[in-house]
């Protein structure tokens, strides 16, 4: 889809849909007034009769006299100026109008909301992101499509003045972000018989091939044995699909500049292993690779925006299954770091693959390492679906991530990594156990990871609650791609 900002006369533009956002109260602005005049006063008549509750509903006029657009949509658009969250909601409503079937070309006039000035580029990004996300449809496994695909191809946003270039840059950023979010959603929505470790490896090679500056390399189980990743390999032992250790490198920064590392949990299906999960809702454990998916999406967006950064992405991709070869509760394994782990619960597998990935990443001498994982059900209990859990051994990194999440409407909330929690991981037989009991489950999981990340600034995002929606809107959300992209944009300056 193409989305551009420029000045135009709304009355004479030939488009399938022209959306005019009208403020809750006060007089019409210049854009709305000129359109009203061209239409013989139709807009002011509608408002006068109270036919458009000006806050939150919409009214469509087909073939409006004096106006070239095939359809004019009036959208009651709330307060002036809108707060950030009000604008984000408005962007979503605009998107749902424009992504309706049958609309190929559209134009958008925000009457009374500035797209120039300081807030212009940010607002443009929100609009483009909402539109891009609105175009996502996952129907490749439906033999009868129950919904026509949106056909939107071209949108023009009314903007004038010297700021138009900055607004267009904001639109480009929002579209690139939506691409990354939608890539993460697609990978999360794919069924686990398709999206297995080998499939993720193929997608990584494909993405690298299609993306300038991005390369991909995949290590197989033989190489992981040579690297002594005993912890990671214990998770994949019961699966018929061999583990794939995916490494992608994006080189947009100065040669030799320390990279930012993203490590994504890629459990393509988490049955729990021998510590088998209950049957109800087990299908949702196909989402246990959403950390990996968010790394794919973030890389795709970072590369599309040509961010002047070096990024290394590590994705340990495995399937956690029970079998005669599966790891047992009670088994003791040796991680790549040399630390030994008593596996008391095979369902606490995320930390077992991440610890080896977090040791492996040391060789890149990264300036920061961020792991992203659907790590614990306890995090969903603690924070629900609203915020990702953030754990970090570095205050500067933590506040950068929190700030990025605020700005991108993809919030995280910081949680502790105190010694007292770490003590819950004591084992009678090995250096540590892989679980620390029910209490503070998301914190003890993070404390486990912290034992492997002492050599660099590190943050862990537990996205168990934020990566997908349950219920009737079941599906991957693409979070925390917005947070990560915003963080990287700020790092890029
Ligand atoms: N993938 C799950 C965590 C999860 C649970 C994500 C619910 C999304 C929704 C993880 O591997 C897991 O099973 N964690 C266990 C840890 C426990 C055994 C200490 C959990 O949360 O129950
Ligand atoms: Mn598990
Ligand atoms: Zn898991």
Tell me, what's the pLDDT at 56? Answer: 73
Residue from 369, 372, 376 nearest 444 by CA: 376
Tell me, what's the pLDDT at 55? Answer: 64
Which residue from 294, 377, 389, 449 has its CB within 8 A of the most atoms of ligand 1, so it is best to mutate? 377
Q: How big is the chain, counted in residues?
A: 493
Report every protein residue that has its C-beta within 5 angstroms of ion ligand 3. 267, 270, 288, 350
Q: Is 351 a catalytic residue?
A: yes
**Are residues 372 and 297 in contact, defined by beta-carbon separation less than 8 angstroms?**
no
Element spanning 43, H or E:
helix 42-48
- Residue 306 tokens read as 């040509």
Looking at 173, 286, 351, 479, which residue is catalytic? 351
Which residue from 376, 440, 442 has its CB within 8 A of the most atoms of ligand 1, so it is best to mutate? 376
pLDDT of 429 > 70? The answer is yes
pTM score, whole prediction: 0.97
The CA 377 to ligand 1 mean position distance, Å, reads 5
H-state helical runs in 211-249: 221-226, 230-236
Distance of alpha carbon 153 from alpha carbon 130, whole angstroms = 15
What confidence tier does 116 reach under pLDDT thresholds 50, 70, 90? confident
Using a pLDDT cut of 70, give the percent of the chain over it. Answer: 99
Pairwise pLDDT comparison (166 vs 146), residue with the higher score: 166
Distance of alpha carbon 160 from alpha carbon 163, whole angstroms = 7
Distance of alpha carbon 186 from alpha carbon 289, whole angstroms = 11
- Give the side-chain half-sphere CA count within 13 A for 257: 14
Q: Closest Cα to atom 5, ligand 1: which residue?
A: 377
Tell me, what's the pLDDT at 218? Answer: 99
Q: Which residues touch 183 (CB under 8 Å, ≥6 apart)?
A: 293, 296, 297, 300
> Over the chain, what is the mean pLDDT?
96
Looking at 70, 154, 277, 414, which residue is catalytic? 277
Tell me, what's the pLDDT at 128? Answer: 98
Span 332-357, average pLDDT: 99
The CA 435 to ligand 1 mean position distance, Å, reads 11
Tell me, what's the pLDDT at 54? Answer: 58
Which residues is 58 bridged to in the sheet?
Answer: 75
The CA 352 to ligand 3 mean position distance, Å, reads 10
**Are residues 270 and 238 in contact, defined by beta-carbon separation less than 8 angstroms?**
no
How do strand 332-334 and strand 340-342 relate by DSSP bridges?
A: antiparallel
Distance of alpha carbon 153 from alpha carbon 195, whole angstroms = 29
444 to each of 11, 307, 426, 458, how far by Cα in Å? 61, 35, 11, 16
Span of 23-27, 297-301, 462-466 with lowest mean pLDDT: 23-27
Which residues is 284 bridged to in the sheet?
Answer: none
Closest-approaching ligand to the CA atom of 434: 1
Q: Closest Cα to atom 3, ligand 1: which residue?
A: 376
**Are residues 485 and 128 in contact, defined by beta-carbon separation less than 8 angstroms?**
no
Distance of alpha carbon 312 from alpha carbon 252, whole angstroms = 11
- Can you state the percent helix, strand and coil of the chain, rounding each to 5? 40, 20, 40
Tell me, what's the pLDDT at 419? Answer: 98
Write out residues with Cβ below 6 Å of ligand 1: 270, 288, 345, 347-350, 374-378, 380, 435, 441, 464
- Residue 252 tokens read as 């947009």
Tell me, what's the pLDDT at 479? Answer: 98
Closest-approaching ligand to the CA atom of 266: 3
Closest-approaching ligand to the CA atom of 467: 1
Using a pLDDT cut of 90, give the percent of the chain over it. Answer: 89
Distance of alpha carbon 184 from alpha carbon 299, whole angstroms = 10
The CA 452 to ligand 2 mean position distance, Å, reads 19
The pLDDT tens digits for 53-99 are 656 789 999 999 999 999 999 998 878 889 998 999 999 999 999 99
Tell me, what's the pLDDT at 311? Answer: 98
Closest-approaching ligand to the CA atom of 316: 3
Distance of alpha carbon 17 from alpha carbon 304, whole angstroms = 29
Tell me, what's the pLDDT at 57? Answer: 86
pLDDT of 23 > 90? The answer is no
Q: Which residues touch 114 (CB under 8 Å, ≥6 apart)?
A: 81, 120, 123
Span 456-476, average pLDDT: 96
Q: Is the dihedral of CA 46, 50, 54, 56 positive or negative?
A: negative
Q: Closest Cα to atom 13, ligand 1: which residue?
A: 347
- Given the CA of residue 445, which atom of ligand 1 is nearest to it? 19
**Are residues 222 and 232 in contact, defined by beta-carbon separation less than 8 angstroms?**
no
């Amino acid at each position: 889809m193409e989305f551009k900002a420029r000045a135009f006369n709304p009355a004479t533009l030939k488009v399938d849909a022209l959306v005019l956002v009208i403020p809750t109260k006060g007089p019409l602005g210049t854009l709305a007034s000129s359109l009203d005049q061209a239409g013989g006063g139709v807009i002011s008549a509608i408002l006068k009769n109270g036919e458009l509750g000006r806050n939150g509903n919409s009214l469509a006029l087909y073939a409006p006299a004096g106006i070239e657009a095939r359809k004019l949509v009036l959208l009651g658009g709330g307060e002036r100026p809108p707060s950030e969250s009000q604008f984000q909601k408005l962007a979503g409503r605009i998107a749902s109008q424009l992504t309706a079937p049958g609309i190929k070309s559209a134009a958008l006039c925000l009457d009374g909301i500035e797209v120039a000035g300081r807030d212009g580029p940010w607002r443009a990004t929100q609009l483009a992101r909402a539109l891009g996300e609105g175009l996502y449809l996952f129907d490749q496994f439906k033999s009868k499509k129950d919904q026509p695909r949106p056909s939107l191809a071209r949108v023009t946003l009314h903007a004038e003045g010297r700021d138009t270039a900055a607004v267009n840059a904001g639109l480009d950023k929002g579209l690139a972000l939506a691409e990354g979010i939608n890539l993460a959603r697609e990978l999360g929505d794919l069924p686990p018989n398709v999206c297995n470790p080998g499939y993720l490896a193929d997608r990584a090679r494909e993405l690298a091939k299609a993306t300038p500056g991005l390369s991909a390399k995949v290590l197989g189980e033989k190489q992981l044995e040579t690297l002594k990743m005993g912890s990671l390999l214990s998770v994949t032992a019961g699966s018929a699909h061999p583990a794939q250790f995916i490494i992608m490198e994006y080189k947009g920064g100065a040669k030799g500049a320390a990279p930012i590392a993203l490590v994504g949990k890629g459990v393509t299906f988490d049955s729990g292993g021998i510590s088998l999960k209950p049957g109800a809702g087990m299908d949702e454990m196909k989402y246990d690779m959403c950390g990996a998916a968010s790394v794919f999406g973030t890389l795709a967006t970072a590369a599309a925006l040509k961010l002047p950064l070096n990024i290394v992405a590590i994705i340990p991709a495995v399937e956690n299954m029970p079998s005669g070869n599966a790891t047992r509760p009670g088994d003791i394994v040796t991680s790549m770091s040399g630390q030994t782990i008593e596996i008391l619960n095979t369902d606490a597998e995320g930390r077992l693959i991440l610890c080896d990935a977090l040791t492996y990443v040391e060789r890149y001498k990264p300036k920061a390492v961020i792991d992203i994982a659907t790590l614990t059900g306890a995090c969903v209990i603690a924070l629900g679906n609203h915020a990702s859990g953030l754990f970090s051994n570095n205050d500067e990194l933590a506040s950068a991530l929190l700030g990025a999440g605020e700005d991108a409407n993809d919030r995280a909330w910081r949680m502790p990594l105190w010694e007292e929690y770490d003590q819950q991981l004591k084992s009678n037989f090995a250096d540590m156990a892989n679980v620390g009991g029910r209490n503070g489950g998301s914190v003890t999981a993070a404390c486990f990871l912290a034992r492997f990340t002492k050599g660099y600034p590190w943050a862990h995002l537990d996205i168990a609650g934020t990566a997908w929606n349950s219920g009737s809107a079941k599906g991957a959300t693409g979070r925390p791609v917005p947070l990560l992209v915003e963080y990287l944009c700020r790092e890029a300056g």
